[in-house]
């Protein structure tokens, strides 16, 4: 825990770590969590989605060594399915669910603050800001982009600091299991954006989400262009499915990157209509200029790659968004009457 004392009402907590091929991180994460939550009634569940590295062996060894650690095999592989499985298997004995990412770093008092914030606000869920940390090279530029408005569009859970506020979405951390069950848990057909989709259903059911300003997590982003592009491609698809499933009007900060792919198609007409090149060239100029500004501000010219990193993120998200819309519309996925009413 931190140096200050946090007064907490006793509660039973299920801390779930969905993971896939996390042999480099899982042991340190669990070991630290065991030490820092020794005074809490907290059970750690490692839900592994068919890892091909040593993650299952490490997780099983941790479970065999520590009574407070449980190993679950997640055959559906997705994070959403892992959390549903943990709650279905063990949730009846616990009050709260804490979601932890294997590829992240958490402060020592993270779980204590989450619990204190829930008990102080009465929120059904406490979400947290996420600060992206790059360790070297291109990853540092990606982190710089993701921590800026160029990469996150001013999203609340990407901005740390402050006393906290009520929000419609944030990075998932703590949730009342009763509320989680009431709305049916995660939609485990979603590989990405499952958190925002669940947040929407929680609010439809009358629950509130509190974004704490008292703690945050450090997230380590993709360190190469291709996996970064594929990650944002999936983010875009997930957002499109959420929008169609719930008939949500997209926010401006979501529609700006969505316009990148149409701008690219428009650019193809530029040999005949030069004005058609302006939207794509304008977007590229803004990204590259802002990247130069960020790199200069950071005092490291190599981090000027934040501009190209943001372009990769925007293009991946835009392609994924339009793919998701097209696939859902052509399949009729969210147009069955019973689905539309859900």
pLDDT at 339 over 80: no
- Contact of 130 with 215, CB cutoff 8 Å: no
pLDDT average, residue stretch 138-164: 80
Q: Given this model, what pLDDT does residue 159 score?
A: 59
Give the Cα separation of 16 and 30 in Å (integer): 10
- Contact of 217 with 104, CB cutoff 8 Å: yes
Give the tens place of pLDDT for each residue, 22-66.
998 899 999 999 999 999 999 999 999 999 999 999 999 999 999
Q: Given this model, what pLDDT does residue 6 score?
A: 66
pLDDT at 282 over 70: yes
Q: Given this model, what pLDDT does residue 333 score?
A: 74
Q: Given this model, what pLDDT does residue 301 score?
A: 87
The answer to whether the Cα torsion of 267, 270, 271, 273 is positive or negative is positive
pLDDT at 134 over 70: yes
Give the tens place of pLDDT for each residue, 290-323.
999 999 998 888 899 999 999 999 999 999 999 9
pLDDT at 20 over 70: yes
The CA-atom distances, in angstroms, between 216 and each of 142, 173, 333 are 19, 10, 36
Question: Domain 12-223, CATH 3.90.550.10 — does that match?
Answer: yes
H-assigned helices in the chain: 26-36, 55-65, 79-90, 110-121, 137-146, 149-152, 177-182, 194-204, 225-246, 252-258, 260-267, 278-298, 306-331, 337-341
Q: Given this model, what pLDDT does residue 323 score?
A: 95
| pTM score of the predicted model | 0.88
Work out the mean pLDDT of the chain and round it to a whole number. Answer: 90
Q: Given this model, what pLDDT does residue 340 score?
A: 37
Least confident of 58-62, 100-104, 112-116, 183-187: 100-104
Supply the DSSP symbol for 75. T
Give the Cα separation of 250 and 241 in Å (integer): 12
Please indicate whether residue 277 or residue 335 has the higher confidence score (pLDDT): 277
Q: Given this model, what pLDDT does residue 103 score?
A: 83
Q: Given this model, what pLDDT does residue 184 score?
A: 96
Tokens of 265: 């198609």
pLDDT average, residue stretch 252-278: 93
Give the Cα separation of 239 and 200 in Å (integer): 12
pLDDT bracket for residue 160 (50, 70, 90): low
Q: Give the residue range(s) of CATH 3.90.550.10 domains in the chain.
A: 12-223
């Amino acid at each position: 825990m931190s140096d200050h004392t946090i007064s907490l009402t006793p509660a039973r907590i299920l801390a779930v770590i969905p993971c896939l091929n996390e042999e480099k991180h899982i042991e340190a994460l669990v070991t630290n969590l065991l030490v820092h939550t020794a005074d809490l009634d907290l059970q750690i569940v490692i839900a592994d989605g068919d890892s091909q590295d040593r993650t299952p062996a490490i997780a099983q060894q941790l479970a065999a060594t520590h009574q407070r650690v449980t190993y679950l095999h997640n055959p559906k592989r997705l994070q959403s399915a892992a959390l549903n499985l943990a709650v279905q298997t063990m949730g009846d004995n616990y009050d709260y669910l804490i979601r932890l990412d294997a590829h992240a770093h958490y402060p020592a008092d993270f779980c204590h603050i989450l619990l204190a914030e829930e008990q102080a606000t009465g929120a059904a869920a406490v979400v947290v800001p996420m600060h992206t940390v790059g360790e070297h090279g291109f990853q540092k530029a990606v982190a710089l982009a993701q921590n800026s408005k160029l990469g996150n569009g001013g999203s609340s859970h990407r901005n740390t600091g402050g006393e906290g506020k009520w929000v419609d979405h944030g990075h998932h951390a703590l949730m009342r299991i009763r509320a989680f069950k009431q709305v049916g848990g995660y939609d485990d057909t979603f590989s990405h954006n499952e958190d925002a989709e669940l947040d929407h259903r929680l609010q439809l059911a009358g629950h509130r989400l509190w974004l704490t300003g008292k703690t945050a997590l450090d997230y380590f982003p993709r360190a190469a262009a291709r996996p970064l592009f594929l990650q944002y491609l999936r983010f875009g698809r997930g957002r499109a499915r959420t929008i169609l499933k719930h008939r949500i009007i997209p926010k401006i900060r979501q529609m700006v990157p969505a316009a990148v792919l149409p701008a690219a198609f428009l650019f193809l007409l530029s040999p005949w209509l030069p004005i058609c090149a302006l939207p794509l060239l304008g977007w590229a100029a803004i990204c590259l200029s802002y990247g130069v500004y960020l790199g200069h501000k950071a005092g490291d010219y190599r981090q000027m790659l934040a501009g190209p990193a943001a372009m990769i993120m925007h293009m991946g998200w835009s392609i994924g968004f339009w793919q998701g819309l097209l696939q859902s519309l052509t399949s009729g996925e969210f147009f069955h009457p019973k689905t539309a009413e859900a």
